[in-house]
Amino acid sequence: MKKTVFLICLTLALPLGARAGMFDDDEARRQIRELRAETTQSLETVRQRVEALAKNQLDFANQLEALRADVARLTGQVEVLTNSLEAAHKRQQDFYVDLDARLRKLESAAAAPAVAPQDGAAPAPQKPADPQAEMRDFETALSLFRGGKYKEAQAAFEGFVATYPKSSLLPNATYWLASSLYQQRQFDKAAELYGKVPANWPNDPKAPDALLARANAQVEAKDVKGAIQTLEALIQKYPTSPAADNGRTRLKTLAPKKR
């Protein structure tokens, strides 16, 4: 009790300025504590924002990389389609040039006199093929195919092959007959007929295209092994043909380990 009274008296005896200083120190400490709390909270907020920005930047970088990959893939597809279109255009031009040349040969052969056999026997009377009728029948069958009438085109090409067994257009007729079957989803028969073109007329311009088409028909018929062998034969026999270029691309898909 005496000690308490002594402390009270001592406090009252202190100058007014000293007592005010004691209260100022408490206020300063309180403000420091508040300032520290605010600073800690602000730093935490800044840290969270930095982390969010970093995450967004990473997501953006991943999205950008994915877009670049998509652009590269689409660019490659455009190049492949462009090359295929150019090759198809060239094949079409070659086809009509070849068709015109063969028509001229047919006209010349029809106008040439028949040669008598060496044994002196009289030649059997044989009606020469009419080049104009032959060309007309071929164009009729081809028009049916182009018009999407594949069953009618099949019958027309079969009739052409039977009517003109020695025609110079026989490789083309066989190719388009196979294509008519392919469009009717008769893939096994189509593959067989496609194979007759390079087998019977290996030097014909249609031979490389027939091998490529045969491989496609074999793939549709679930004969992937046979398709790979056909593509390898195409590349080996006709390495510089546009069909071989497409065959290499196709082979990378069917047998990636071999290429």
Shared domain check, 93 and 55? no
What span, in angstroms and rounded, lies between the C-alpha atoms of 177 and 196? 11
Residue closest to 164 by CA, chosen among 207, 103, 225: 103
Shared domain check, 41 and 95? no
Average pLDDT rounded to a whole number, residues 67-96: 61
Q: Give the count of domains, the chain.
A: 2
CA–centroid distance for 196 within its chain: 28
Shared domain check, 142 and 42? no
157: containing domain: 86-102+130-258
> Does pLDDT of 84 surpass 80?
no
Average pLDDT rounded to a whole number, residues 48-57: 83
Shared domain check, 144 and 59? no
Shared domain check, 64 and 177? no
Shared domain check, 208 and 134? yes
Model pTM? 0.54
Q: Is residue 12 situated within a structural domain? A: yes
> Does pLDDT of 205 surpass 60?
yes
Q: Which of residues 110 and 140 earns the better pLDDT score?
A: 140
Q: What is the pLDDT of residue 114?
A: 41
CB 145 within 8 A of CB 153: yes
Q: Which of residues 161 and 98 earns the better pLDDT score?
A: 161
Q: What is the pLDDT of residue 50?
A: 84
Q: What is the pLDDT of residue 126?
A: 46
Shared domain check, 98 and 40? no
What span, in angstroms and rounded, lies between the C-alpha atoms of 150 and 176? 10
The mean predicted confidence, pLDDT, of the chain is 78
Dihedral of the alpha carbons of 201, 202, 206, 209, in degrees to the nearest 10: 140
Shared domain check, 25 and 97? no
Q: Which of residues 6 and 244 earns the better pLDDT score?
A: 244
> Model confidence over 143-202: pLDDT tens digits?
999 999 999 999 999 999 999 999 999 999 999 999 999 999 999 999 999 999 999 999
What span, in angstroms and rounded, lies between the C-alpha atoms of 28 and 35? 10
Bin 70: left if φ > 0, else alpha if -120 < ψ < 50, else beta. alpha
Shared domain check, 137 and 249? yes
Q: Is residue 149 situated within a structural domain? A: yes
Q: Is residue 124 situated within a structural domain? A: no
> Does pLDDT of 212 surpass 70?
yes
User: Can you tell me which residue has the tokens 């056909």?
Assistant: 230
Shared domain check, 150 and 22? no
> Does pLDDT of 230 surpass 70?
yes
> How far from each other are the two terminal CA atoms of the chain, in whole angstroms?
104
